Amino acid sequence: MALLSRREWLGAAAASAWAGRPPNILLIMCDQLGSHALGCYGGPFRTPNIDNLAEAGVRFTRAVCTTPLCSPARASFITGRYPHSHGIVSNVNRRDYPAIPAPSTEEGIKVADATTEKILNAAGYRSHHYGKWHLSDEDLPYYPEMYREHIEYAAEMRGFFEAVRHRPRDSWMNWYGWALPVTVAPAFRGAVAGLEEKWSKSPYAEFIRKAGRLELPLELVFDFRVAEKAAERIKSAAPGPWMITCSFNYPHDPNVVPSPYYESLRPERMPLPSNFGRLETRFSMDWSRRLVEDIGEAGLRELLRIYHASVRLVDDLVGRVLAALEQSGQAEQTIVVFTSDHGDMAGGHGMFWKSTSAFYEEIVRIPLIIRFPGKIKPGRLDIAASQADLMPTLLELVGSRIPSQVHGRSLAPYLLRSRSLDGAPGYNFCERVPATPGHRRKVQPGTAAGFMVLGEGWKYIRYADGEEFLYDLRKDSGETDNVAASRRHQGEKIYLRRELEAWLARTGYPMRRRAAGLSKNTGGMYRAGQAHTMCGRGAN
C-alpha cells in the first residue's frame, strides 16, 4: 500500500468536505461494553456524559463487532479488515506472564501492518495511544507515546502490587499480574463458597470468586490514569492534526470497581433481562452460563452491580476527557468517536461475561457514536455498521485515501448526508474463527468457523458444526425462538445464507470447495467472482 506524501495529503484534505487543516480525531473506546448498558441505547441507568455525546452527534443503532473477542475486534478497528483476513483471531497475550502460554512471534499487530494511525502519522498527524492495547507488546514508531495496561501501568504500580502480595491471599486478586486489593461482599462470598475446587480448571475463576469493591484510591485506578493522560495530551497538544486514542479497560473484568461507584448501586435493584430464563441447550457448557448456574440469581445481581457501576465510572471519565477537549479550544476541530470492542451477556439467556460461543445481541451489539460539531448533523442512523467500517470512515472524513485491502465501507457519506440511505450497508457480519496453529496470523483453508449475518430484521447464524439458528428480531428481540427449522421461514433462511456466503467470498475467507462444518444443503460456498447480493441490497 502506497502512503500519501505530505503534499498529496494536504491536497486531498483541501478537497475534502472542509477546507484547511484536517480535523483532529479523538477515539474513546471501552472493553466489553454492550450498547444495552448505556442510557442513550435504552439501558437501565443514565450515562449522562455519553448520552450528551450521543445527543450532539450521530448514534448508530445497528453497530456490531466483527467478532466478540478483544484482540481480533481491536485489530479490525485499526486495519478495516475482518479477523479471517488480518489473521488475529484469538487474544494476544503477554509474553512475560507465566500463566498464559507464550504466543508465536507472528502474533499481534506489527510495524508493517497498515493501520489507521500509521497512515495518519505518515501524513503529518501526531498519534498517541493511552489505555488498553491488547494487540502486541511491540513498540510501534507511529506511537511516540503509549500508556498500556501491562507495560507502563504495571511498571508504575510494581511496588504497590508487590506490597499487596504480602497480604492474606483471600484479600487480593491476581488479574494477569496485577495484584488488586479487594473486599468481597459477605453475601457474594457465600454465593461462591465451595466453588473453588469445582472451578479449579478455569483460568477465570478468581475473577469471579473475588469480585467486589476495589480497595484502590481512584487516582491509582488504571482507567483513571488513562483518562488523565489523554486529557493532559489534549490540553498540551500543539495546533495541527492529531489522533488520540483513549482506551478504557472497564467494564471488562477483573469485576472490581472502587468507591464511590461500588456503593452507588445496590445488587437487589439490578434488573434482570426478560430473556434471563430462556436457556439454549447448545450453550449449556459455556463458562458464561455455568458460572451463573453455580452462583445463582443473587450472585449474578452482585456481578451486574459491579458491571453497571463500572459503566458509571467510565461515563465520568468520558466526561473528564471531553471537558479537557472543550478547555483546549479544539472541540470544533475534532472528530470524536465513542465505541466498544464487544458486549457482555449481562444476564441475557442466563449468562454473564463474554465466555460463550453464542452470537446473541447482548454480546455482538456495540455503541458507535460520532460527533463533529458544525460538520455532522446530530441524529441517529439505522444502517448496518461494523468495526471494520471505522478505518475507512475516518480516513475519508479527513480526506485520505482508503487502502484497497480494506473490507469495511466508509460511513462518511451517510454522516455528511451526501449519499442517500437507500444505498447504505444493509447487512452486518460477525464471525468466530478458532485459534490458528501456533497463533500465527494465517487462517488455514477450510477452517470451520461460526458466522452471523444480520439484516432486514432477521439474524441468521451458522456454527462451525453446521447447526443453524434464525431469529425474527422484529418480533423476538430477546432471541428466544429459533425458527431455523420452520418451513414457513425457509425463504428467509436461504436468503441470508446466500448473503453470508457471498460475503465470505467477497472478503476472501480461505476456503476449500466445501469447507469443514458447512451445512450440506447450502450447495457449497461461492467461489471468488461468483459473489452476489440478493435483490441488489447493499452489504457491508
Which CATH number characterizes residue 114's domain? 3.40.720.10
Question: CA 399, 405, 410, 413: dihedral to nearest 10 degrees?
Answer: 60
Are residues 271 and 227 located together in one domain of the fold? yes
Task: For residue range 134-186, list pLDDT tens digits in order.
Answer: 998 888 999 999 999 999 999 999 999 999 999 999 999 999 999 999 999 99
The whole-angstrom separation of Cα 247 and Cα 233 is 14
Q: Nearest CA to 352 among 309, 290, 298? A: 290
CATH code (residue 523):
3.30.1120.10
Q: Which of 394, 423, 452 is the last residue of a domain?
A: 423
CB 479 within 8 A of CB 275: yes
Angle of helix 287-327 versus helix 222-236 axis, rounded to 10: 30
Q: In terms of residue numbers, what domain contains 488? A: 444-536
Name the domain count of the chain.
Answer: 2
Conformation bin of residue 365: beta by default, left when phi > 0, alpha when psi is -120 to 50? beta
Residues listed for the chain? 540
Q: Does a structural domain hold residue 192?
A: no
Confidence at residue 514, expressed as pLDDT on a 0 to 100 scale: 47
The whole-angstrom separation of Cα 390 and Cα 394 is 6
Q: In the structure grid, which three cell numbers stand for residue 167, read together?
A: 497480604
Are residues 417 and 479 located together in one domain of the fold? no
Q: Which of 423, 455, 472 is the last residue of a domain?
A: 423
Are residues 42 and 114 located together in one domain of the fold? yes
Are residues 283 and 327 located together in one domain of the fold? yes
Are residues 133 and 238 located together in one domain of the fold? yes
Question: Around 288, how many Cα atoms within 13 Å sit in the side-chain half-sphere?
Answer: 26
Confidence at residue 529, expressed as pLDDT on a 0 to 100 scale: 27
Q: Does a structural domain hold residue 389?
A: yes
Place of cell 479544539: 330
Residue type, 139: D
Q: Nearest CA to 300 among 267, 274, 255? A: 267
Q: Kindly report whether the peptide bond that precedes residue 251 is cis, defined as omega within 30 degrees of 0.
A: yes
Q: Nearest CA to 336 among 28, 39, 33? A: 28
Confidence at residue 511, expressed as pLDDT on a 0 to 100 scale: 77
CB 278 within 8 A of CB 478: yes
For residue 180, what are the CA distances in angstroms to 53, 163, 196, 208? 32, 10, 19, 13
Are residues 331 and 389 located together in one domain of the fold? yes
Question: Around 52, how many Cα atoms within 13 Å sit in the side-chain half-sphere?
Answer: 8
Are residues 130 and 222 located together in one domain of the fold? yes
Q: Does a structural domain hold residue 177?
A: no
Q: Does a structural domain hold residue 161?
A: no
CB 62 within 8 A of CB 386: no
Q: Does a structural domain hold residue 458?
A: yes
Q: Does a structural domain hold residue 187?
A: no
| Long-range CB contacts (within 8 A, 24+) of 138-143 | 138/108, 138/109, 138/110, 138/111, 140/109, 140/111, 141/111, 142/115, 142/117, 142/118, 143/117
Percent of the chain whose pLDDT exceeds 70: 89
Are residues 406 and 472 located together in one domain of the fold? no
Are residues 344 and 292 located together in one domain of the fold? yes
Are residues 378 and 469 located together in one domain of the fold? no
Low-confidence ranges of the chain (pLDDT < 70): 1-19, 94-106, 512-540
CB 113 within 8 A of CB 87: no
Are residues 472 and 402 located together in one domain of the fold? no
Are residues 455 and 316 located together in one domain of the fold? no
Strand arrangement of the beta sheet that strand 145-147 belongs to? 145-147, 126-131, 242-251, 24-31, 334-340, 368-371, 58-64, 379-386
Q: Does a structural domain hold residue 196?
A: no
Q: Does a structural domain hold residue 178?
A: no
Q: Tell me the whole-structure pTM to 2 decimals.
A: 0.91
